């Protein structure tokens, strides 16, 4: 059982259900902008619920208390629908770190607060240039997912297909602030990609070591349980191990060229899949 202070008074928090965490985090997600403190935004969402007249015992309010507490909020003053945070501490959850994704936190739903902080404050590097990952709406994500699915070749890793689709969009001349390009970056980030190279002249892709925490956060926000989130992590680590094995071969003097994926921009969506 956790506690924090609202208007100087301690309030008790009693183990909300997962559906209540989902409800509160979804309220927060609908209001997140590219800038600003996510813990403070969560405090404002909580203030809004209280301003509606919901009691401290309301399930969504209880989830809000727990999320705010996990994100380091210790004391907040509510004035209407606004909250003034007067005491907070740094936490792993507020930083979106993997240490906040423990088994119990994922199963209970508490980890969704940390996953939210991770998913909405990411950067992905393309050709050594950083780009903020801007979350896109369901319609844009589903449209791109269909395009990636249509482009996927047999036995091709899904992140490679998404990378080729990004290459196609860039080859078409679309800028990085284009909705489809932003959606592709968001999808790649959800797969754990943090660094990649898109060589349009030579039609090749390159990837740096993946970030398992990003993949886990995205899985948690999708509602996956702890065992499935663990499998997501293991899958990303398997890719990283392949990267490390190749790096070791290079360090040992193997001059063999890496197998790189062709972007094949003009034809990737128009040719038949390889059988």
Assigned domain for 273 exists: no
Question: Which band of pLDDT confidence, cut at 50, 70 and 90, is reported for residue 15?
Answer: confident
Contact 147, 269 (CB under 8 A): yes
Residues 98 and 140 in one domain: no
Question: Do 146 and 203 belong to one domain?
Answer: yes
- Please count the CA atoms within 13 angstroms of the CA of 88 that sit on its side-chain side: 24
Q: What number is the average pLDDT over the span 2-14?
A: 87
Q: What pLDDT digit, counting tens, does each position of 242-254 carry?
A: 888 876 676 676 5
pLDDT per residue as tens digits for the range 191-211: 999 999 999 988 899 999 999
pLDDT of amino acid 250:
67
Distance CA 18, CA 45 (A): 18
Residue 271, in any domain of the structure: no
pLDDT(104) > 50: yes
The rounded mean pLDDT for the chain is 89
Number of structural domains the chain divides into: 2
CB 115 within 8 A of CB 221: yes
Residue 266 lies in a domain: no
Please give the residue range of the domain that contains residue 147: 123-251
Dihedral sign of CA atoms 187, 192, 198, 203 in order? negative
Residues 112 and 139 in one domain: no
194 within 8 A of 201, measured Cβ to Cβ: no
Give the model's confidence band at 169: pLDDT under 50 very low, under 70 low, under 90 confident, else very high: very high
Does residue 48 form part of some domain?
A: yes
Looking at the fold, whether 245 and 172 belong to one and the same domain comes out as yes
Confidence of residue 257 (pLDDT cuts 50, 70, 90): low
When pLDDT is averaged across residues 46-50 and rounded to a whole number, the result is 96
Residue 38: pLDDT above 80?
yes
- What pLDDT score does 268 carry? 38
Residue that terminates a domain, selected from 101, 118, 135: 118
**What's the pLDDT band for 83 if we cut at 50, 70, 90?**
very high
């Amino acid at each position: 059982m956790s506690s924090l202070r609202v208007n100087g008074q301690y309030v008790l928090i009693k183990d909300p259900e997962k559906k209540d965490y989902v409800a509160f985090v979804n309220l927060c997600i609908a209001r997140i902008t590219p800038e600003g403190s996510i813990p403070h935004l969560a405090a404002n969402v909580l203030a809004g619920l209280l301003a509606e007249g919901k009691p401290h015992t309301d399930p969504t309010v209880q989830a809000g208390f727990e999320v705010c507490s996990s994100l380091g909020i210790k004391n907040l003053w509510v004035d209407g629908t606004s909250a003034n945070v007067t005491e907070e501490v740094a936490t792993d959850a507020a930083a979106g770190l993997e240490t906040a994704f423990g088994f119990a936190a994922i199963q209970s739903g508490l980890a969704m607060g940390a996953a939210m902080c991770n998913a909405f404050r990411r950067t992905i590097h393309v050709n050594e240039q950083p780009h903020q990952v801007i979350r896109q709406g369901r319609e844009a994500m589903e449209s791109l997912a269909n395009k990636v699915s249509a482009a996927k070749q047999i036995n091709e890793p899904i992140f490679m297909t998404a990378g080729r689709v990004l290459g196609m969009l860039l080859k078409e001349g679309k800028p990085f602030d284009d909705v489809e390009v932003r959606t592709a970056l968001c999808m790649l980030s959800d797969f754990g990609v943090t660094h990649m190279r898109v060589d349009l002249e030579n039609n090749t892709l390159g990837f740096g070591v993946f970030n398992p925490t990003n993949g886990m956060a995205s899985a948690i926000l999708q509602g996956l349980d702890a065992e499935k989130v663990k499998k997501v992590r293991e899958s990303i680590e398997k890719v990283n191990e392949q990267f490390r094995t190749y790096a070791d071969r290079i360090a040992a003097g193997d001059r063999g060229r890496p197998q790189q994926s062709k972007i094949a921009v003009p034809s990737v969506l128009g040719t038949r899949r390889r059988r």
